[in-house]
Amino acid sequence: MTHRIASIVVLAGIASAAHAQFTAYGDRTAWEDDAIVGGVFDLETFDGTFDPLQPSTGPIAFDWGTVEVEGGDGTIGGPEIAAGNFAGSIFPATAHVAYIFTFDDPIQGFGWDTFGAASGIALAIETSEGVSDILDYLASGSFDDTFLGFTSTEAVTEVRIIASPSYGGTAVGEIFDADDLVFVGGEPCRADLDGDGQLTLFDFLAYQNLFDSGDLLADFDGDGDLTLFDFLAFQNEFDAGCE
């Protein structure tokens, strides 16, 4: 399993606190091929009906968590979930700052197939590990169906759909529809440093390279320094294996 970064990926960074790798995707096939996903994921088809979806509505419960809107109530472009589709709204005409997805169990991958009028104009996914933009209208000059997703080596429990900070955040207008929410749970296997889904000699070599270069990804004991204890912590996780 190999990481394949989509052409419209705009961010793949390291979170300073958790040293996590956050990879953004604009292509569902590439997202599914990511080593973290491995072609195995959960699916939400939004086959229920919820209208309206406003801050005053409160969280809407699903078997994996909740969905809610953050911001002021509004009637223009009011969002809803109906007939298997999630209908978005205008940012910020309805004062909808964000659509918030909260997961009962930590996830390491998330994605949405967007479609319809204006899908993909200056939308972004925001988590505690990073922000990924989808700007396909601004890039191509036309309305295209697209995919908005990410994987992260650090598990998260909240995902926010927002107007892109790159184009003014809530100052940017956006209308979108979406279906087929996909996500993958589980805790990261830090010892699999080459991301091939297996623990081998190459992971030891990758760790040594990180340590020798002073990369804090090698700080396995989390004390902010690279010492012998990090080698021991890595070896313990390697010996414990990955599920």
Count CA atoms within 13 Å of residue 215 on its CB side.
16
Do the beta carbons of residue 177 and residue 114 sit within 8 Å? yes
Q: How far apart are CA 70 and CA 141, in angstroms?
A: 30
Do the beta carbons of residue 160 and residue 107 sit within 8 Å? no
Instruction: Indicate if 181 and 207 belong to the same structural domain.
Output: no
Instruction: Indicate if 160 and 235 belong to the same structural domain.
Output: no
Residue with the larger pLDDT of the pair 166 and 1: 166
Instruction: Indicate if 236 and 154 belong to the same structural domain.
Output: no
Instruction: Indicate if 164 and 232 belong to the same structural domain.
Output: no
CATH number, domain at 35? 2.60.120
Instruction: Indicate if 223 and 119 belong to the same structural domain.
Output: no
Give Cα separations from 26 to 42, 111, 151, 176, 211 (angstroms).
Answer: 18, 9, 12, 15, 32
Instruction: Indicate if 38 and 149 belong to the same structural domain.
Output: yes
Which of 75-84, 105-114, 124-133, 228-237 has the least mean pLDDT?
A: 75-84
Q: How far apart are CA 44 and CA 41, in angstroms?
A: 10
SS (H, E, C) 193-207: CCCCCCCCHHHHHHH
Per-residue pLDDT tens digits for 22-64: 888 888 999 988 877 878 889 999 888 887 788 888 899 998 9
Residues in the chain: 243
Per-residue pLDDT tens digits for 152-205: 878 889 999 887 766 655 445 566 778 889 999 866 577 887 766 678 899 889
**What is the rounded average pLDDT of the residues 128-145?**
64
Instruction: Indicate if 217 and 108 belong to the same structural domain.
Output: no
Instruction: Indicate if 93 and 140 belong to the same structural domain.
Output: yes
For residue 4, being part of any structural domain is answered with no
Domain residue limits at 232: 201-240
Of 149, 110, 112, 154, the C-alpha closest to 133 is 149
Instruction: Indicate if 140 and 232 belong to the same structural domain.
Output: no
pLDDT for the residue numbered 81? 85
Structural domain total, the chain:
2
